[in-house]
Structures are given as C-alpha cells and as structure tokens.
Amino acid sequence: QVKKQCDQKLLIRMKTKCVPCSLNLDTQCPAGYTKITNGTGTPDCRYYLEVKAHTLSFPGCRHRCVKELEQPECCQGHWGPDCMGE
C-alpha cells in the first residue's frame, strides 16, 4: 500500500491585544489557540489611552498563542483531489 497523502502540519502564531500588564493575567487566546506565555505575558508592546486632546502611550503586555493545522497535501508523485498516482 503506497502512501498517497502526506499532510503538512502548519503552526499559526498570533498575539493578543496589548493591555496593561496587571490586566493581562486573565486574557485568553481565541478559540482553537493555545496560550504559550504564562502569567502577565510578554511586556513587548505599548497601548494607548486618549485623555481629552492627547493620546498617551504606556508599556503593556500581550500573550502569544499558537494553533496547529493539518494542511492536506499529496505525497511526491501523486496529485489531484484524491492524490492519484502515476
């Protein structure tokens, strides 16, 4: 039995919205994603607050999330929707 389908694993990465670090403990990743940072997340961003006519910028935190997807792909020498061979 020759293997026709060789699915590829894709890793999709994303970051949550930048918020004050103290508020980031409870931040969840979107459905289907797994949080890979702990606690308050990574302090690598800035968030903005508008106060009257000014916009103030503050250091903030965000979480990193990943999701694994299977991408259907035919093995070498096979093609088409049913991965037909030579």
pLDDT of 83 higher than 80: yes
Mean of per-residue pLDDT scores for the chain: 94
pLDDT of 1 higher than 70: no
The domain segmentation of the chain, as residue ranges, is 8-85
DSSP string, 44-78: EEEEEEEETTEEEEEEEEE-EEEEEEEE--BPTT-
**Between residues 62 and 76, which one has the greater pLDDT?**
62
Convert the pLDDT of each residue in 13-22 to its tens digit. Answer: 999 999 999 9
**Phi, psi values for residue 72, rounded to 5°:** -65, 130
pLDDT given for residue 86 in this prediction: 65
Convert the pLDDT of each residue in 45-62 to its tens digit. Answer: 999 999 999 999 999 999
